[in-house]
Amino acid sequence: MPLTLKQLRYFIAAAETGQISHAAMEMNISQSAVTAGIQGLEADLGVKLLTRGAQGVAVTPEGARFLSRARGIMAAVEDATRSPLGEGTRVTGRLRLGVTYTVAGYFMARHYAAFRRSYPGVTLDLSEQPRAAIETALVSGSLDLAVMLTSNLGNAEELEAETLFRSRRRLWLPSDHPLLAAAEVSLHDVAREPYIMLTVDEASRTAGRYWEAHRLTPEVVFTTSSVEAVRSMVAAGMGVTILSDMVYRPWSLEGQRIEQRMVVQPVPSMDVGLSWARGRPLTGPAQVFRAFLSLTLGSGG
């Protein structure tokens, strides 16, 4: 089976961070996906690239040699896609880009920096707005493009959307919670626990849909728009919550551990992607930004 760009990205991220968990957070995917990708790459190459230990992962001698080649491959791919409008074209102009809160805080910064390095001639005007305001601005033409939660898109009639990745939602628990020892955890189990409800980016509305689908109601003891507040409260044992992997971090600001478990019922993922006005051609800067994110997030292979 031929190696893929995703496998190379996972390997490079793990090698550079020294932790599968850190690589997963950087790539906005699950640890199991990173592990499976690297194991598949090792099987394809027939060599061990990383050694696993209590402190994380370390590059083997074969892995160090391949890491140099992998970086070269990714650099060549990025160079080949820097001018998707034609070889030798230097794209210039202004891109008016809307982002929602979660995207701004947990996704956009490193991609913004990487895009600016690749396309110094494009000026990015970033604007953080609620979903409804972004959708209105896209339709009116005051925004060219948006990076947002496409799973929350409301105006599908007038807007196009392209999902770049799906971040699954899982149960967050303090490190000493009894449910960690359960063979499986259901939404019925979660409904009996004190629940911390996040409201930002319509999180409570999204949660309401899947709770209602199972005719259950969580026992909400605190509602907040702060992800960090949720993290601290869960870690301290005030309650549990269900949130996406994209905003998950294993430690609270106070240094307390937060664990995750899947629930047996299907919980919809949080989908991140691009949206723009239907029927209005994307500008040159918008086209290269779309191509850049598609490549970076692995939809190209």
- Top pLDDT among 59 and 55 is at 59
130 phi and psi angles, rounded to 5 deg: -65, 160
pLDDT single digits (tens) 66-110:
888 888 787 777 666 555 544 434 788 999 999 999 999 888 888
Has residue 126 got a pLDDT over 90?
yes
Record the pTM: 0.75
Has residue 64 got a pLDDT over 90?
no
In a domain, 301, yes or no: no
Same domain? For 279 and 252 the reply is no
The domain boundary, picked from 43, 58, 80, lies at 80
Domain of residue 15 covers 5-80
In a domain, 87, yes or no: no
| Confidence category of residue 194, pLDDT binned at 50, 70, 90 | very high
Same domain? For 112 and 24 the reply is no
Mean pLDDT value of segment 213-233: 96
Same domain? For 179 and 263 the reply is yes
In a domain, 47, yes or no: yes
**Poorest-confidence range of 64-73, 151-160, 190-199, 242-251?**
64-73
| Mean per-residue pLDDT over the chain, rounded | 88
**272 within 8 A of 149, measured Cβ to Cβ:** yes
Same domain? For 161 and 276 the reply is yes
What pLDDT was estimated at residue 195? Answer: 98
Range with the largest mean pLDDT of 2-16, 17-31, 171-185: 171-185
The domain boundary, picked from 80, 111, 142, lies at 80
Same domain? For 125 and 180 the reply is no
Same domain? For 14 and 67 the reply is yes
In a domain, 11, yes or no: yes
Distance CA 158, CA 138 (A): 9
> How many domains, the chain?
3
**Poorest-confidence range of 55-64, 201-210, 291-300?**
291-300
Same domain? For 194 and 70 the reply is no
In a domain, 88, yes or no: no
What pLDDT was estimated at residue 73? Answer: 83
Write the DSSP string, the chain.
Answer: ----HHHHHHHHHHHHHS-HHHHHHHHTS-HHHHHHHHHHHHHHHTS--EEEETTEEEE-HHHHHHHHHHHHHHHHHHHHTS-TTSTT----EEEEEEE-HHHHHHTHHHHHHHHHHH-TTEEEEEEE--HHHHHHHHHHTS-SEEEEEGGG---TTTEEEEEEEEE-EEEEEETT-GGGGSS---HHHHHTSEEEEE-GGGHHHHHHHHHHHTT---EEEEEES-HHHHHHHHHTTS-BEEEEGGG--SB-TTS-BEEEE--SS----EEEEEEEETTSPPPHHHHHHHHHHHHHTTTT-
What pLDDT was estimated at residue 298? Answer: 58
Same domain? For 180 and 244 the reply is yes
What pLDDT was estimated at residue 173? Answer: 96
In a domain, 105, yes or no: yes
Same domain? For 131 and 256 the reply is no
| Confidence category of residue 299, pLDDT binned at 50, 70, 90 | very low
What pLDDT was estimated at residue 196? Answer: 98
**Poorest-confidence range of 73-82, 121-130, 169-178, 262-271?**
73-82
Same domain? For 280 and 146 the reply is yes
In a domain, 120, yes or no: yes
Instruction: Provide the CB-side half-sphere exposure for 169 (13 A, CA).
Output: 20
- The enclosing domain of 151 has a CATH number of 3.40.190.10
What pLDDT was estimated at residue 1? Answer: 59
Mean pLDDT value of segment 20-31: 78
Question: What separation in angstroms does the CA of 172 have from each of 74, 176, 200?
Answer: 35, 12, 17
